[in-house]
Amino acid sequence: MHLRKLNIKCYGNVIVNVDCGKVWFFRMDKKRNSFSSSIGFVLAAAGSAVGLGNIWRFPYLAAKDGGGFFLLIYIILAITFGYTLLITEVSVGRKTKQSSLTAYGKLSKKSGWLGAFSSAVPFMILPYYCIIGGWVLKYCITFMIGNGESAAEDTYFTNFITGKFEPIIYDAIFLLLTCIVVYRGINKGIESLSKILMPVLLVLVIGIAIFSLTLKGNETQGGRTGMEGFLVYVVPDISDMSFRDMFVVVMDAMGQLFYSISVAMGIMVTYGSYFKDEDNLVKSVNQIEIFDTIVAFLAGVMIIPAVYVYMGKEGMTAGPGLMFVVIPKIFAEMGVFGKISGILFFVMVLFAALTSSVSVLEAIVSGMIDKTGMERKRATLLEGGIALVLGIIICLGYNLLYFEIKLPNGVTAQILDIVDYISNNILMPVVAVGTCILIGWIVKPKTVIDEATKNGERFGRKLLYVAMIKVIAPVLLFILFLGSIGIIR
């Protein structure tokens, strides 16, 4: 048979060979994009992990939960629980070369539902994360144009988020920035952004942390110093803690770690699918773990000493309002230095928010590409449009669509809080427990261990990993889930 006599037609990725009334189909799969280097992967994955939760939630929980005691528990969980979930998801992604939407089904046909659940998480998170990113952008611009003192007023934040148009505009701008990065692809978009922003972010975090340690209040503020605040942060204080209080600290630390390292939301599986086979997976996961923990710790060094100097221990109980209400008041107290510090701080937070939102959108877009064969540009535009519509609805939840509802965990919630609760408190624990069962009992831990050591790497925490993935992690996650739905308090 001569090739020149064949009637060949091409339809996308399928070649149809028509000869003598017969048709043959040849599937030609496109080579999956990958990060150009392991450092590119580490910076992108760390950029996902280092987000808004590290900046405000970690310092708040550390201050609330006995300072150094919380730090100790967090570090222990990071090298056990966190490592287990992180290396599992990255390994699953690299092994299957698929995003989370289709990766779990590749490992086990009966586990395809995990892909759907894990993909639902970023789909729900993206709209409200971009809204909060828009809030950060608003404050960043406010400080840049010299209106930092206005941001320190008691009603500033509330007046802003309850506005009908301004929050939507900032949400749209932040979402647009996120879409531009993902639209450009893995190397030109995500990797390039991470290589620029992550080193800058780290320098800003270190610089602001050092400055925070040098602060000293006046006599009316009790003459408190940044170093005294630092000791409040790092020295364990369990003097007034009961066993139940200690249990709460463990759950808080696990919850923070759970969200901080970006597991159970499809991101690390997706990023793992872009990780080259010849690169050292174990080493890279360790680097992500270390980077994330260091930034989380430094976030506490940035915020807690400054809050302690100007507002004492009481100021550290502000929770989510810490970033948008308390911190601007502190910058207002600093005078000229406060104006400069405010700009640097919110630029740093903006970078952290952007790298995280990019990873959330990428998890969705990658799933659409793997499942439907859709082009990246089209998938990005489609999901961007959906996120914008949902974001507008959530923004209106603070004015035209305002209502209050009590959640099972005791929080009084609006639309944003409800979406956050469903994605973070219900879907993510379910996905994480399902992943542990899949790897621990169905396809076995050897699947992950073999993938992580395919180039002869040493899996240093092998026995610990097996114990964690099979028993300890799912038990802890189930307890966390019971706490999230209000059964355990």
Q: What are phi and psi of 418, to 5 degrees?
A: -65, -45
Straight-line distance from the first to the last Cα atom of the chain, in angstroms, rounded to the nearest whole number: 75
**Residue 371 burial (CB count, 10 A):** 15
Check residue 26 and give its pLDDT.
44
Q: How many CB atoms lie within 10 A of CB 10?
A: 10
Q: How many Å apart are CA 308 and CA 312, to the nearest integer? A: 4
For residue range 107-160, what is the model confidence (pLDDT) as tens digits?
999 999 999 999 999 999 999 999 999 999 999 999 999 999 999 998 999 999
Per-residue model confidence (pLDDT) at position 315: 74
pLDDT at 1 over 50: no
Domain 37-391 has CATH 3.10.150.10: no
Tell me the C-alpha to C-alpha distance, in Å, between residue 185 and each of 49, 180, 377.
Answer: 19, 9, 9
Question: What is the model's pLDDT at position 319?
Answer: 63
Residue 274 phi/psi, 5-degree rounding, is -100, 5
Which pLDDT does position 16 carry in this prediction? Answer: 54
What average pLDDT score do residues 46-62 get? 86
Q: 183-242, pLDDT tens digit by residue?
A: 999 999 999 999 999 999 999 999 999 999 999 988 767 789 999 999 989 998 888 888
Share above pLDDT 70 across residues of the chain, in percent, rounded to a whole number: 93
* Alpha helices in 108-222, H assignment, sequence order: 112-144, 148-151, 156-161, 166-183, 192-213
For residue 11, what pLDDT band results from cuts at 50, 70 and 90? Answer: very low
Distances (CA, A) of 390 to 5, 77, 171: 55, 35, 11
Give the pLDDT of residue 488: 78
**pTM, rounded to two decimals:** 0.92
Mean pLDDT in residue range 33-59:
89
**Where exactly are the structural domains of the chain?**
1-30, 37-391
Mean pLDDT, the chain, integer: 90
Q: Which residue has the higher pLDDT, 238 or 79?
A: 79
